[in-house]
Structure 1
Amino acid sequence: MALVINTNTTASLASAQLNSTNALLQKSINRLSSGRKIIEPSDDAGGLAVSVKLESIIKRTSAVQNNVSNATSFLQTQDGAMDTVGKILNRVSELKMLYTDVTKSTSDKANYDKEFTQLKAQLGNLEAEKFNGVSVFSSSSVGEVIISEDGTQKITLSAADMSSKLTSVTNASSLNDLAIATITTAIGEVAGLRAQNGAQSSRLAFAGDMLTINKTNIEAANSRIVDTDVAAESTSFAKFNILSNSGAAMLAQANTISQVALRLIGG
């Protein structure tokens, strides 16, 4: 290679290499400090596009999980009310049997009727129970609960018409007008509503489990695209840091090459 003054090719090449190394070093620092593998779209354009879609799925899945949890709470509230209704009906049936006791006086029976009147009022209150403004008991379906992030899978919450099941009991003016068979029929119908409630709650629980599994795996897939592997990136950082320091030293050395020509000229 010719010894020249105006052009220092070695220094130019060393400078270009140092700039390239410093750019890689800076990118490694950004990845480690942010925890993200994709700092700019140019880092992985295709991966970024996939990540955007996956993050959207994760957001929708979280929203569906909340909706499923709220529907479960609704059904639990409904079941709690039906449990109370069942206990009241059991008490009414007990009162009816006590009412038929031949040893009870008219005043005794009147006292039983007083409790029966209060229990009927409480049944009316339970029929009007609401959950966040939505009727717990209705003659029509509450609606559909979406159980998938794409909105294609749904569960319809069946109607729970408590009023129609209790009419024969609540319309009785006294225990004397109420037959045991009427009470037992009402108890059986309420039990049927509880079975319906339990079946829907069970399905929602399994749907919630599937949503959790899907979300966990989608988050893992997205993480592989956008999150920094700290162990691997730390190794790259150490490499680029050493190359940057050695590159700076070699550039300084390359800049002294032209001084050899000056010494020759000076004799």
Structure 2
Amino acid sequence: MSVTINTNSAATIAKNNLNNSNTMLQKSLNRLSSGLRITAPSDDAGGLAVSMKLSAAIKRTDAVNTNLMNAQSFLQTQDGAFQIAGKVLDRMSELKTLAADVTKNATDVANYDTEFDALKSQLTAIGGETFNGVSLFSSGSSATTLSVATTESGGSSVTINQAALGNAVTNATSATDLADVSLAQITTAIENVATLRAQNGAQSSQLSFASDMLTVNKQNLEAANSRIIDVDVATESTQLARANILVQAGSAMLGQANASSAIALRLLGQ
């Protein structure tokens, strides 16, 4: 091997190796400190693109599940109104029975009619209840529906009812007084409200299963994304140790290569 002054090939090679080792060390440090396998697009461009799509799908899944929970709250609030309506109708049927007592005079019956009128007003008020500004009940003779998405892609949905509560209890609310309504009419109204509660429960159950499916889907999406984006700490720790040793060795060898030029000076001194 020739001895030269202007060119130190050994030092150049050692420097390049040291730079490469230092790059690997910094990459391992970045991965371990961030917990990510991909810290720059150049690490895995294709994997990064897939990860971004999966991350967006995970966020959409969360948002859809939130919407489902809000729809559940809507149905729970609606069912609470059904319960109160049922209690009001129960009291109406009780008043109708009490008013039929032969021992009650006209004043007693009038008192029952006063409460009956108040209960009719309460049923009407219940029919106007809202949830966050959205009507719980339809104002018409039939139910209207609200569509709730059940998938993050928006390709599937379920419907929940804005039930026609007013129409269900019309037999009881259209009567002017207790004498104008039969016990059978009030009983029919109670049965109608019971049917509406059953429909409410069925829709709530469907939403619960849809939410469970979203939860499972989110878990699977997160697992898939983790395999792409998250660092394997055990493997990367090994790479860090290797890169650290190479940096130390490269630094030592670069110093040794630079020192080798001193041979030329000793030759010139002779």
Same fold per TM (> 0.5)? yes
Q: What is residue 263 of structure 1 aligned with on the other side?
A: 266
Residues 56-79 of structure 1, C-alpha deviations (whole Å, 9 max, x = no match): 111211111111111111111111
Partner amino acid, structure 2, of 1:234: S
SS in 1 for 2:169: helix
**Distance across 1 between alignment mates of 2:145 and 2:75:** 11
Partner amino acid, structure 1, of 2:56: S
Cα-Cα RMSD: 1.4
Residues 208-247 of structure 1, C-alpha deviations (whole Å, 9 max, x = no match): 0000111121112112212223333233222212211111
> Is the contact made by 2:28 and 2:240 (CA closer than 8 Å) also made in structure 1?
yes
- 1:170 maps to 2:173: yes
**Distance across 2 between alignment mates of 1:74 and 1:124:** 19
Count of aligned positions: 267
**Distance across 2 between alignment mates of 1:122 and 1:135:** 16
SS in 2 for 1:33: helix
1:159 positional shift? 4.4
**Distance across 1 between alignment mates of 2:249 and 2:124:** 86
Q: What is residue 6 of structure 1 aligned with on the other side?
A: 6
- 1:237 maps to 2:240: yes
1:192 positional shift? 0.7
**Distance across 1 between alignment mates of 2:117 and 2:159:** 36
Q: What is residue 62 of structure 2 aligned with on the other side?
A: 62
Q: What is residue 206 of structure 2 aligned with on the other side?
A: 203
Structure 2 unaligned runs (5+)? none
Q: Which residues of 2 match residues 117-266 of structure 1 at below 5 A?
A: 117-138=117-138, 139-266=142-269
- 1:18 maps to 2:15: no
Structure 1 unaligned runs (5+)? none
> Is the contact made by 1:141 and 1:156 (CA closer than 8 Å) also made in structure 2?
no
**Distance across 2 between alignment mates of 1:33 and 1:53:** 24
- After superposing on structure 2, the runs of 4+ consecutive aligned residues of structure 1 that deviate more than 4 Å are none
| TM-score, structure 1 as length reference | 0.96
Residues 193-218 of structure 1, C-alpha deviations (whole Å, 9 max, x = no match): 11111100000000000001111211
> Is the contact made by 2:99 and 2:178 (CA closer than 8 Å) also made in structure 1?
yes
Partner amino acid, structure 1, of 2:144: S
Partner amino acid, structure 2, of 1:76: Q
Determine what percentage of the aligned residue pairs are the same residue. Answer: 58
Residues 143-177 of structure 1, C-alpha deviations (whole Å, 9 max, x = no match): 21110011111101234111111111111111111
Partner amino acid, structure 1, of 2:133: G
Q: What is residue 35 of structure 2 aligned with on the other side?
A: 35
